[in-house]
Structure formats: structure tokens, C-alpha cells
Amino acid sequence: MITKILIHRHVILCILFLLRIAQLLTTTQSFSFSNNSLQHVILRYNSLCNIPNDVPILVSKVTNKARVCLATSSESINKYQLEQKQEQSLLQWLTSHNGASCENIKISKNPQTELRGLYTTTENIKKNDVLLSVPVSACLQATDGINSVVGGEHQDELFPICFNNNNNNQQSFPKKVQLTLCLIQYWLLTNATEETQDSIQNIKQEKVYHNWLPYFQSWPTKLSGTPIDIPKKELQKEAQCEQLVEDTVAYYAWFKEEYQCVLEQINSSVDLSLPIFQRALQLVSSRSISFQKNSSILVPFLDMANHCPTPSAFYRLVENQIQLVATRSLAENEEITISYGDYTNRQLLGCYGFILPVNPFDYEVVSLIQILQAAKDAGYFQTLANDDDIFALEETVSSFGFSTNNFRFYYSHGLDDDLWLTLRAVVLVLEADDNNNDDDLVELVTILQAIDMDEAEEDDLWTNETNASKLARLSILYEACPILEQQIGGSSTTLEQDEMILKQNDNILSMERRHLVELRRNRKLLFRSLQLNLATQLKNI
């Protein structure tokens, strides 16, 4: 009865709120998001509903007017209140463990992205201050035993009871798969029915699993945003990136392989589907950390920290305590981030379901053949009549010991130094063919050999380069960029079309497809930006 009254109260408040907004919109007065009347209505509504002001009312501008959408429906309010309850339970559960300390942090939402993360609760946090301390006993970790996961004050063994324990030929699964089976076991126990009770035979183990209820309840139900759920043909169309498609297909094949291994040892009374296994394994993979090779551990609270390539904290293991330590001074209510690793955006998307607008570790790999072919297609090499001439040129450069593959084009800090050296070698090979004189090329190779023997410096490679040579190597890459932009960035759309898609379909694209369009847009933007930079350098010669 009380629940019904609360629901009706929210409905009435929603209606009153919309009526007030309609009244504001029908007046002759124009207003923006900062309008006092609108802000007053929003704050009053939040106050009546007991909602913090960072739970957003969405306001988007259309020309000079404002379009107001009520985002805090009864459903979103209930979701927020449930999350608050789960976070409070998690906090109480964690602090019940001896040695746990988390008074400097809280779980909160970013008002712009609506992503949950860790934030500071106090000011004047200094570099190297411990923000969080979690005893190993409050963590779940896969051990070196056969499919053994331990946790709890006494490090109880949480062997998945859905398995056939009589199987003497059990294989040891990867650590993340072992943790995945614990999560699946939790799902089985919390959703057990009379039909599935027969498969849950060990009451002691059931009680052990229920001890972890507050932790598992704080998890999302699935990992959203990854490309693995997109059909292959659609993925090829949207991504326009064969490497991403290949990585996704290989990732899915690994899921299926591990799933088949699990099925061979699972209790026949347990109905475990591939989608459930995949969902659990994705969650565990995105939340677990490791301190050494082939190890995986789930750390409560720490697993809610978001990724940043320049993190504000790092984690360490000190005397059976996993600590989160500040890398710099932090203000109150500042987000605490960690580094998941030096991953490209493709890797972040595949494993974690997000990409970064600016990622210093993101790059594209290009070969010399691709660059030469693109420059030829753009009309640069007048003396190279066909593709055979391109391959012969690449082979000659390679024969002198210069790199010809795996050149990285970084989004944030330019190109591999080896690429410039290789392009200089290309120019010298072409000059040698024209002049029947390879003295400059031989001298460059000699300096390289001297550097390998510590008898010369890197700067010596460029001492005798002429302006004509520099102009030629810059021009090769400059002419190649527009072709590479379409070949590597995706030929089905242009950069301008991708930006228009993102702009016009802001509220239509699914999260997964938006990420794919952003990735292909970024690849094109890389070569467009590089060409503009090269144009500036060419003007200065």
C-alpha cells in the first residue's frame, strides 16, 4: 500500500512539473538552462522527491529556446534509490572486514556521462596518500589449484558447486574463467527455483556465496558498449576496420572455446547458456586486476574506478592489503581514476566497452608499401609506372637494413622516428637510380652501422640532409595522407559524413554503433591532421 502511494506521489509530481514547464515555455520570455524560474522548479522537484541535484533533468537548446525533457521518471528514481541502497550495503559489508578503510572515497555518478566512479570525500589529499585499503580477505582471487577460487576471512575455497566433483579429468581453467564461474554460481544461487534446488547440494557453500551478496549486487547486470554483440556484417559496415572485426571474431571464438570446456565438466542439471557465460566473463574481465602474470583478483570498491591514461591513483599490494594511492594532490569531490593499461581505443572498446576522446596510446599501423602505393595513386611518383616498381623500391630499401613495416601513426604525438629515416632512404634510392650514384645512400647506411656499435649518434643521420631531400620525404607522406585516410579510415564514408552522422543522430545511435562511428572518424581525422601538419612543415622549408 505504501509503495502504491509513493508511486502515485511521483506521478503527480511529474504531472505538476510538466505543467509548470509548459507554462514557462508558453510565455514570451526566452530563457536558457540557467534561468532562475526553471532552476527553481528543478530544485523544488528534486527536493520533494528526495533526489540529489546531480540526478539530471535533461535540457537541450534548440536555436534560442529550450526544450526540456523530464529525465527523472519514476523508473530512473527507483533505479537511483536501488543503486544508493546497494552502495550503502557494499560500504557496510566492506568495513566489516578487519583492516578495511574507505573513508576518503565514495561512489558517485559523473553528471555528464552518468557513469559511476570513485570520488574523494575530503579535501587536501596529497600525493601518496592512501585513499582505499582493502584486505585480501575481502577479495576474490583465483589460485593455482584446479579451478579454485578463495575469499573470506578464512580464505574459504569457493569451488563452483554446479560442477561434477567426481570428474577426475578436470582441466584447470584460466583465472578469469574461474572467477566467472563464481559469478555464475552466485547468479544460480540467487535465482534458484524449486526445479534448480536439486543442483545446489552443498548448504555450506551456499552460505559462503551469500556472504558475498553485497559485493555482487553492486555489479551491473551486463557490460554494455562492446562490439561483440553486433553481427559480423553489421560490424564490418559500421566499423570499416578489418583489424577490429578480426579482433572481435577472435575474442568471440575464445569465448566459445572456454564455454565448451566448461560444458564438458558442468553438472548436467545446470542449464548454462553461451550468452550467460559470455556476459559473466565480460564482466569479470572488465573488473578484475592482476599483480603478476596469469593472476586475477576482484577487489571491491577498487573495481569501480574508471580508466584514465593519466590516472590520479594507482593500486599496490602491501602486507595482504590492496591499497589505492593518490598520484597527485586531489580536491574534494574529484574523481579518482586508475590506468587499466596502455591500451588503444580498439582494445578499450573490445574489453571494456568505451573509447577515449584523447588517447595517447592510440595509433594506426602503416607499412611502407601502403605509403608508397598511396603516394603513387595520388600522382606523386611519375617515374614508377606500375605496382611492380613500388614493390621493387620497397625491396631495395629493405635490403639496406631499413624498416619497412609496422610504422605507428600516433593520434597524440606523431610518427615513429624510423619512418622518417626509411622515407629518407626511399628518396636516396630514387636519387641513386636517377644519378647512377649511391654515395649518399651508402654514407647513411654506414652511419647506421656506426650507431649500432656506439660509434655515432642519432643526430648524425640528419647532419648532411639537404632541403631537397627533406622536401621530398615530407611530400611523399603529404600526398599519401588523403588516400590513407580513406583506405585505413574506411572508404564507405568521408570524415565529414561521419561527423554529420554523429551530430544528426546524437539521440538515435546505440552506444555500440556510436563508438564504431567515432573510431572510424578518429582514424580519418588522424591522417587529416597529419596532412595539415605536414603542409605547415613544407611551407617552412
- Looking at the predicted structure, is the pLDDT value of residue 412 above 80? no
Query: How sure is the predictor about 113, in pLDDT bands with cuts at 50, 70 and 90?
Result: confident
pLDDT (0 to 100) of residue 150: 63
| The three grid cell numbers given for residue 93, joined into one nine-digit string | 559489508
The pLDDT confidence band at residue 79, using thresholds 50, 70 and 90, is low
Give, in order, the Cα–Cα distances in Å from 282 to each of 166, 174, 227, 254, 352: 29, 14, 12, 12, 8
pLDDT at 335: 95
- Percent of the chain residues past pLDDT 70, beyond the cut: 75
147 versus 183: the higher-pLDDT residue is 183
Least trusted range by pLDDT, from 217-221, 387-391, 425-429, 523-527: 217-221
**By CB neighbour count within 10 A (0-12 exposed, 13-18 middle, 19+ buried), where does 121 fall?**
middle
Contact (Cβ atoms closer than 8 angstroms) between residue 200 and residue 185: no
| Residue 71 confidence (pLDDT) above 60 | no
Residue 353 grid coordinates: 566497452
Fold of 363-539: set domain protein methyltransferase, domain 2 (3.90.1420)
One-letter amino acid of 414: G
Q: Domain map of the chain by residue range?
A: 2-72, 140-298, 363-539
Joined together, the cell numbers standing for residue 220 give: 551491473
Confidence (pTM): 0.78
- Where does the pLDDT of residue 28 fall: very low under 50, low under 70, confident under 90, or very high at 90 and above? very low
Question: Sign of torsion, CA 34 37 42 46?
Answer: positive
pLDDT tens digits for range 222-260 = 888 899 988 889 999 898 888 899 999 999 999 999 999
Quick check: 271 pLDDT over 50?
yes
> What tens digit of pLDDT does each residue of 159-208 get?
555 565 554 445 578 888 888 888 888 887 776 544 444 444 444 455 55
pLDDT tens digits for 463-482? 888 999 999 999 999 999 99
pLDDT computed for residue 169 by the predictor: 47
User: Of 10-14, 29-33, 93-97, which has the strongest mean pLDDT?
Assistant: 93-97
Cα–Cα distance for residue pair 18/511, rounded to 1 Å: 28
Rounded CA-CA distance 351/347 in Å is: 6
pLDDT in tens, 91-112: 888 888 888 898 889 998 888 7
